Amino acid sequence: MQSHRELRLGWVVRDVSIIFILTFLGGLVVRIASGGLRQAPEQVQLATAASNFFFGIVGFTIAGCLASANRWRHLRAVAVGAWFAGLVNVAFFGVSFLRWLGGILVILVIMSVGGAISFVFKRDSRPSP
């Protein structure tokens, strides 16, 4: 039997997947709605970043609500997983390695906001000591 303090890899993968899918679909909608990078590429990049920020917060809010054990520990693991999943952007979408590396700071902000919002929807039944 696992203690309530242990992380469950399956739950982390589930929540990383939720965040990945939400941000991917949000970015896809922005690209389609704007006609791609041909139309004002700076504006498209800004809209994509705003979409990723918003849907990342939504994803971390969902992850925080689904966390059954130590919420912040779980969210930190999800943040690291989401950051590593972002390597897809380096491999396929032209994001520089340095930008990806610095992205951990943005992900930590998104995690903090989404995690805090999750407390509005679900309080901790077993707060950490």
- Statement: residue 1 has pLDDT above 50: no
What's the pLDDT tens digit per position in 100-115? Answer: 999 999 999 999 999 9
What's the pLDDT tens digit per position in 51-102? Answer: 999 999 999 999 999 997 789 999 999 999 999 999 998 999 888 999 999 9
Q: Closest Cα partner for 48 from 113, 94, 108, 102?
A: 94
pTM of the model: 0.86
